[in-house]
Structure 1
Amino acid sequence: MERIDLIYAGDNILCMEKTECCRIRFLFSVFLLLATALLSIISPILMGNYIEALTKKTDSANIVTCVIILTISWLIGVVLTYVTSVNSTHLKTRLTYSISLHLLNHTEHLPYSKLIEHNPVYLTSRIQNDSNTITSFFLDGFIGMIVQALLCITVLIFLFNSSRPIFWLVMITLPIYFLIYKNFSQRIESSSKKVIEQRDKFFGEMNHQLRNIHTIKANVWYTILFSLLKGEFEIFYKSIIKNTKIGSRYSSLTQLIQIAFNVIIFLVCGFSVQKDVMSLGNFIAVNSLLSILLSSFTDIMGCGKDYAVALAAFSRIVGLESTAEERIGSLKMDAIHEVSFEKVSFSHSEQGENLINQVSVKFKKGEIYQIIGCNGSGKTTLIDIMLGLHPASGKIYYNKMSTENLDMPYIRKNLISTVEQEPPLVFRELLQNISAEKFGSDYLMHEIDSMGMSEFLGSSEFLSNHKSTSVVHNISGGEKQKIAILRALLKRPQLLILDEPASALDVQSCKQLKGLLQREKSDRITILIDHQSAFTDIIDVAYLLQDGHLLRCDKNENPHVPFPKKQTQKRSRKPNEPKVLNQPAQSGKQNAREPATPKQSGDANDYKKPQCTQKCRPESEPGKQNAEGEGARLLSN
């Protein structure tokens, strides 16, 4: 990737790509702007000479000469305009693209916990718009402002030598422009930043709804979501109106000053021409140069408004740049033999309750583990902590080496495979979703056959059926899950994590997957997040995640139970009382807290705590069992 330097000092912005091509284009762009500015000064003078030739009734040859010179200057102007436009577009597009990629690369390396705080569409729009704003201001505003300043100085020198009264009138008028800008600059900057923020949020919400159009249509949520979008639009609309009013007031005041200035100039120059103090040709030249001067100075002050917008975009870029990337250690490994947690805790907020609470556990190579728990109990968060995606208190070790010292991106890329419950197809091409390295279908089929996965895939025709189209479409949920599992197994990982692997698979596919996992269990650590009983017979160790604690169930017992989506309010326990996962029903009596008759399905009051077929006892009492059946060891403190 091409390197981008964002160089800034105080209020100055300089954004340059360090490549030879862009240096040349940038210098060429400056030359073109200077040439255009010089031509804009010469043209009024040439026009004044032409008027002089007409009024003095010189010979025809002199008039023809003036016309030829004017024509050449006009043609040069046309060429300069064309070349400047093309060169500017090349440079602007390249710089915007490079800055966007630089920011995107930085964003992708931010901690995962920071990324999930923002709407991805909002972040994408923010990066693209801010990059374009900075580039446009630098090329069209900042560099243009320097050229316009040089143009103003040149015109002032000409006026000083040709007409002192007009020169002093100009020197009185220009500070008024500056005072007006200073009065409006902060308000323009603040309102511009508000518009940018609300614009990105509005379009982010719109994109979010379009991405979820299937769910919206299925549930007929048009009215509800339209009201949400309308609310975002109203905020966006008000910010635009406020920004426009402030900008229009600033522009109106500068225009009024320019009108007053023109009135005075016309009176002074008119009287001078009438008294033969100034020729008509000089009047036309001076008037044209004054128009250029005021226009240039107005543009310079107008850059204040553009500068405010660019500064707002720049401050957001700096804010994104200043966010520290995820901390990565330097140690690497070529095998994973065990993963262990030591008093690991995690909460989504500093003041919030721990979702994971003092968990200590060890996962060893050659075993298949199952983690079950209620929705929202923290199973996926626990896995994210294991992968180094969420910061947590406590210690996590791979082969007795702390993750703080390990290069976790390297380990995730080379030694770990994960399969999400609803795996997305990230790449547009089917084969690349199976292997990001873009191997051909023949090679992939050879690998699939060698690992005995062709039967699980369904048939050898699966790849060939989708080979004819480069873009993925018409892929069912079951096929997506098979592709994700296939990709995970083809990596031959040392740690394999499957989140609800049977959720979209048919019975036969589950059986085949179970055979694959059982056959290669000695080569890796396998962790299943699973609520179904399809994999119970190949599980070596089963854990229940409840109330932030990880409970181990006896492997000789069936750890599978159906888990409701919501828990009732927890009963407070007495001191030193162990957690009990299943309160045994007393013969002939109805629990006083349970209703006498079942409630209708879907009633929130019908939900109970997850129940297990065993009871658990604290690990601190290894010789003591509860009176009711086998115990499960409590691994969390």
Structure 2
Amino acid sequence: MKIFFFCKPYLLSQKYTIVAYIALTLLSSAIGIISPYVIGNFLDDLVISADKSVIFRFCIIFGGLSILKILKDYITSIMYTKMQVQMGYDLNIRVIKHVQSLSLSFINQKDGMYLNQRFNGDSYNLITFCLTTLQGVITNIILIVVPFVILLANNWLITVLMIGFILVYITLYLALREWLYKAGLVFKESQAKFISKLYEQLKHIKLIKINSIQSELNKRAEDSFTDFKATAIHSQKANFVYSSLEGMIASIAQITLFVIGGLQIFNGNFTVGMFTIFNSYFSMMLNASRYFFGLGATYQNAMGSYNRIKDILKCRGESYGEKIVESIDRIELLDISFNYNTFPNNNYACEASSSNQEQETIVEDRAFDTAQVRVENVIDSFSAKFSKGNMYALSGPNGAGKSTIISLIMGLYIHEYDGEIKYDDVCIREIDMVTTRKRLIGFAEQEPLLINDSIRYNLDYNDNASINGIDLLKNTDNMCANSRTVSLDECIKILNMESFINQNSFSFIINEKNTNISGGEKQKISILKVLYKNPEVMIFDEPTSALDMNTTRKFINYLQKIKSDKIIIIVTHDEYVKGCCDEIVQI
């Protein structure tokens, strides 16, 4: 089965717990099989025997079995929860990591809330299906086979009757399975989109208030809800028809058993106790058959989740080279052309190994497919060189592509441009850009998004860094190749942040939307992060837009002081900053 093969790594990670879980479940099945004998013999003993001790003996046996079952149910429920939560997380994080590896331009065209709801719900749905099916299939096979053998040995007519109803179940499932699958898949898609539209009402709350567009945005949610409600009703109808047919067959089977069993009692072939035993085993087989019939609907639902996750995983992640760069003396962009509407680009300008070429980003997924229409390039035949020891001003009108060039330099669109980008004559497609960005490149955004955590965490993303006054211990794993150490205290003074840090401390928690600090302080924290990291390549996007003139001068003077062993690129419209740079690169 596809789903089990897909979830195999997660099931194997919990194999011992799963074995113990199934063993305890089989114990419950054994108790279920024994119980009809206990009850049936008790009824016959009541009719035949005048000994009241029969009642007490029955109560002790039946009560003991009930207590044992309750204890088993408690243990298995805890085991199931632990396995389901852990395996669901493992699958979920695998999909998240894969999404993180996809092309940035591809991800930017997707709704984050839709993606999150999609793979989060589907991951846990698949794990739940596997666990419940493993336990359910084994249990219900036993509950069919053992009673079948017992019934066949005692009454072939009832056994044949049971086989007939099982065949009816199988026929109905084969006839309705595609309908169930399609109804479930459409419902899942509309549900994910509806939740995304609901989140939109909160995500853009400031925009809504400023423009007084509550009714317009609410209308978007209402339209999405209308579609969601229609698909929910259709899905419910499909499941109701399926379950109703299953219930109808079960009722007919039960009535047929009562007719045959009643006639057997009238003819003297059955005692009341024997009929109770037969009825119990027949019901046991019937319920087990109904389980497999219901499993068909559950399977079609799980297949919807499986195909949606596979659609995500079929999108190949960006492939980086394996070359580790220890230092960067020169960055060259040669005849670069780029636009956001065509990806990926198969025409690699610089030579790379065939294995790298085979790993180019390919979008194969129907649900994710986006119209790929080539439009006018954002960047067309652009060339530039950035060398160590210099400070560069990247300048040009808004929309000219300055931020895009920065993204290309950092390898964020690794396979989506024409031309060549080289670090010291090595094509960036041959370089491990993840490691390079981590160790050698620092970037301060114009409008930074800070993580909902402390100021300290937003400086180095390290939970284990210690704070002593205003000095942090740099994590040696994340140190750039430059051995020069930087005092955080010095960096704070350069940006005139002493008052802010003293008032709030490094432990100050920045909220999710970053609304408890000003835009200027956000930008300073972003710049501080780069200065403290002290990488060989420093990139700043409009860093002085929220700085006063005094802070701007101190900041630029510091960059001039340290530029000898760095490549510093500043996207700016500020004439003062341009005048302090060694070269102005005009876009």
Which is further off, 436-445 or 322-331?
Answer: 436-445
Contact 2:448 2:526 in 1 (8 A): yes
Contact 1:145 1:303 in 2 (8 A): no
Q: Which one-letter code corresponds to 2:204 in the other structure?
A: N
Aligned sequence identity (%): 26
- Is 1:308 the equivalent of 2:300? yes
Contact 1:49 1:66 in 2 (8 A): no
- Is 1:127 the equivalent of 2:153? no
Q: TM-score, length-normalised on structure 1?
A: 0.80
Contact 1:16 1:95 in 2 (8 A): no
- Residues 511-526 of structure 1 aligned to structure 2 (within 5 Å): 511-526=553-568
- Is 1:463 the equivalent of 2:501? yes
Alpha-carbon distance in structure 2 between the residues aligned to 1:331 and 1:232? 48
Q: Deviations over 1:266-304 (max 9, x none)?
A: 111111112211110111121122222211111111111
Q: Which structure shows the higher helix fraction?
A: 2
Q: Pick one of 531, 540, 562 that aligns with 1:498.
A: 540
Alpha-carbon distance in structure 2 between the residues aligned to 1:14 and 1:496? 43
Alpha-carbon distance in structure 1 between the residues aligned to 2:128 and 2:2? 19
Q: Deviations over 1:506-526 (max 9, x none)?
A: 333222222222222222122
The 3 A distance-change label for structure 1 pair 326 and 174 is same
Name the residue aligned to 1:453: 491
Alpha-carbon distance in structure 2 between the residues aligned to 1:10 and 1:481? 47
The 3 A distance-change label for structure 1 pair 266 and 18 is closer
Name the residue aligned to 1:17: 10
Q: TM-score, length-normalised on structure 2?
A: 0.87
Tell me the secondary structure at the aligned position of residue 17 of structure 1.
helix
Q: Pick one of 437, 443, 457 that aligns with 1:418.
A: 443
- Residues 331-346 of structure 1 aligned to structure 2 (within 5 Å): 331-346=323-338
Alpha-carbon distance in structure 1 between the residues aligned to 2:289 and 2:455? 57
Deviation at 1:201, TM superposition (A): 1.9
Contact 2:495 2:554 in 1 (8 A): no
Q: Pick one of 239, 248, 251 that aligns with 1:247.
A: 239
Which is further off, 368-377 or 286-295?
Answer: 368-377
- Residues 217-232 of structure 1 aligned to structure 2 (within 5 Å): 217-232=209-224
Deviation at 1:51, TM superposition (A): 0.9
Q: Deviations over 1:431-486 (max 9, x none)?
A: 01112235333375477657742333324343343238552242111111000000
Which is further off, 438-447 or 376-385?
Answer: 438-447
Contact 2:246 2:293 in 1 (8 A): no
Contact 1:191 1:243 in 2 (8 A): yes
Name the residue aligned to 1:540: 582
Alpha-carbon distance in structure 2 between the residues aligned to 1:13 and 1:182? 23
Which is further off, 202-211 or 257-266?
Answer: 202-211
Where relative contact order (Cα < 8 A, 6+ residues apart) is larger, the structure is 2
The 3 A distance-change label for structure 1 pair 371 and 440 is same
Q: Pick one of 549, 558, 564 that aligns with 1:507.
A: 549
Alpha-carbon distance in structure 2 between the residues aligned to 1:393 and 1:512? 39
Deviation at 1:421, TM superposition (A): 1.4
Which is further off, 462-471 or 296-305?
Answer: 462-471
Tell me the secondary structure at the aligned position of residue 340 of structure 1.
strand
Contact 1:419 1:499 in 2 (8 A): yes
Name the residue aligned to 2:461: 436
Name the residue aligned to 2:57: 65
Q: Which one-letter code corresponds to 1:271 in the other structure?
A: L
Deviation at 1:92, TM superposition (A): 0.9
- Is 1:366 the equivalent of 2:383? no
Alpha-carbon distance in structure 2 between the residues aligned to 1:249 and 1:45? 36
Unaligned runs of 5+ in 1: 1-7, 546-637
Contact 1:337 1:399 in 2 (8 A): yes
Name the residue aligned to 1:481: 523
Name the residue aligned to 1:191: 183
Contact 2:338 2:380 in 1 (8 A): yes
Name the residue aligned to 2:404: 381
The 3 A distance-change label for structure 1 pair 524 and 258 is same
Q: Which one-letter code corresponds to 1:498 in the other structure?
A: F
